[in-house]
């Protein structure tokens, strides 16, 4: 498998960034394995789903950031689960956690969002975990697109657990407006669920049209990513993308 490009800043101010999307199941599995996987992926931005959101959730988020070599940006309980971590490379311009309209009897959902600057590039980032209910999930996809458009940055990235496959209505609604990074430049593995028997792609990273996708997929075979850790860390496999973001 070819190497995924490393992070870097070009002479014109454009930035190659690594973005990770990962459902961590509230850190109920092997925490040390989880941290090793994230650290080995070396993301500039980590879009996390199912972050701890109850008792001492901030302490858990701080532990995960520290052990993964990252820092806390926003989200967690305040976004009903989605979380954003980053390396020290991005400059965080602003953050906002958004709670979505809730259907009675279903889980509260939300977005963790941030506007960041890396080199001469500016972009919005959003972490999401969409509903298990098809109708609500489809509506949340529309809210996601509206949120990215309203953040006012020249480029945008969204990543998360969609609870939908590429042929589903919600996934197709997003990929009609944004680049599905795996479909644009596949790299590594495709399927994200379940680690013991990957058979479906329900986690994805999306980017607006001005961003160049250099590679995206499950980091199977990436240096220092151990298969035992991938199976032990959580009930999803991570998605890692390398993206070239033009200068603002």
Computed on alpha carbons and rounded to an integer, the radius of gyration of the chain in Å comes to: 16
Report pLDDT digits (tens) over 145-172.
999 999 999 999 999 999 999 999 999 9
1 has a pLDDT exceeding 70: no
Signed CA dihedral, 243, 27, 192, 164: sign only: negative
* 186 Cβ contact partners less than 8 Å away, ≥ 6 residues apart: 215, 216, 217
**Mean pLDDT for all residues in the chain:** 97
Q: What is the pLDDT of residue 207?
A: 98
Q: Provide, rounded to the nearest whole percent, the portion of the chain with pLDDT above 70.
A: 100
Per residue in 3-31, is it b (16+ CB within 10 Å) or e — as a string? ebeeeebeeeebbbbbbbbbbbbbbeebb
């Amino acid at each position: 498998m070819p190497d995924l490009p490393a992070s870097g800043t070009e002479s014109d101010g454009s930035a190659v960034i690594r973005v990770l999307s990962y459902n961590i199941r509230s850190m109920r599995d092997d925490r040390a394995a989880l941290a090793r996987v994230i650290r080995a992926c070396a993301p500039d931005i980590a879009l996390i789903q199912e972050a701890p959101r109850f008792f001492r959730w901030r302490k858990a988020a701080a532990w995960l950031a520290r052990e993964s070599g990252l820092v806390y940006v926003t989200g967690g309980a305040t976004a009903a689960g989605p979380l954003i971590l980053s390396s020290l490379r991005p400059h965080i311009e602003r953050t906002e956690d958004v709670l979505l309209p809730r259907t009675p009897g279903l889980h509260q959902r939300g977005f963790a969002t941030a506007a960041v600057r890396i080199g001469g590039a500016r972009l919005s980032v959003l972490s999401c975990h969409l509903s298990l209910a098809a109708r609500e999930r489809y509506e949340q996809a529309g809210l996601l697109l509206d949120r990215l458009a309203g953040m006012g940055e020249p480029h945008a990235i969204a990543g998360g657990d969609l609870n939908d496959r590429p042929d589903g209505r919600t996934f197709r609604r997003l990929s009609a407006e944004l680049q599905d990074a795996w479909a644009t430049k596949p790299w590594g593995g495709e399927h994200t669920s379940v680690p013991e028997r990957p058979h479906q792609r329900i986690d994805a990273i999306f980017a607006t049209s001005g961003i160049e996708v250099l590679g995206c997929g499950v980091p199977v075979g990436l240096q220092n990513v151990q298969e035992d850790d991938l199976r032990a860390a959580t009930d999803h496999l991570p998605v890692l993308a390398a993206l070239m973001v033009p200068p603002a």
